[in-house]
């Protein structure tokens, strides 16, 4: 399943979607950046409540398929602009981290 398909089927909001056809291979959940760096797999949906600029470098270098910011955490327009420039998919949902993960689990 691609990130664009996931958005549609799960009802996640695509805040920026520069790479809509990126394939999803799994899910990783975490807010501690170097933990995510070390453990997330390439192609994962990364679910987090972190919203500072550093998440973009982490997503890019760990090569996750997208960042899914849960719990309706507010995202600054500056972050979204940088994500677009760097080609990083950023999704938003008002679901809890758990509900978001369960939703994805039913789809992939």
Other C-beta atoms lying within 10 Å of the C-beta of residue 32: 11
38 binds other proteins (CB under 8 A): yes
Question: With binding defined as CB under 8 A, does residue 107 bind other proteins?
Answer: no
Asked whether position 86 contacts other proteins by CB under 8 A, the answer is yes
Measured from the CB of residue 61, what is the shortest distance to ligand ATP in angstroms? 13
**Residue 26's closest CA among 83, 64, 68?**
64
Nearer to other proteins, 31 or 72 (CB): 31
Site for ligand ATP in 9-68 (CB under 6 A): 33-34
Strand partners, 45: 27, 66
Q: How far is the CB of 98 from other proteins (least distance, A)?
A: 20
In the beta sheet, which residues pair with residue 86?
none
Q: Closer to ligand ATP at the Cβ: 6 or 67?
A: 67
Q: Is 100 helix (H, G, I), strand (E, B) or coil?
A: helix
In whole angstroms, what is the distance from residue 13 CA to residue 38 CA? 27
Do 92 and 77 meet the contact criterion of CB atoms below 8 Å apart?
no
Contact residues toward other proteins (CB under 8 A) are: 31-35, 37-38, 42, 50, 52-55, 57-58, 60-63, 86
Contact residues toward ligand ATP (CB under 6 A) are: 33-34
């Amino acid at each position: 399943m691609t990130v664009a398909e996931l958005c549609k089927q799960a009802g996640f909001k695509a805040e920026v979607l520069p790479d809509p056809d990126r394939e999803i291979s799994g899910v990783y959940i975490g807010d501690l950046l170097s933990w995510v760096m070390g453990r997330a797999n390439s192609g994962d949906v990364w679910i987090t409540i972190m919203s500072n600029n550093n998440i973009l470098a982490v997503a890019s270098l760990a090569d996750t398929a997208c960042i899914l910011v849960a719990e309706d955490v507010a995202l600054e327009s500056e972050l979204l602009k940088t994500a677009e420039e760097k080609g990083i998919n950023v999704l938003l949902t008002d679901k809890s981290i758990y509900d978001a993960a369960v939703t994805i689990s039913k789809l992939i």
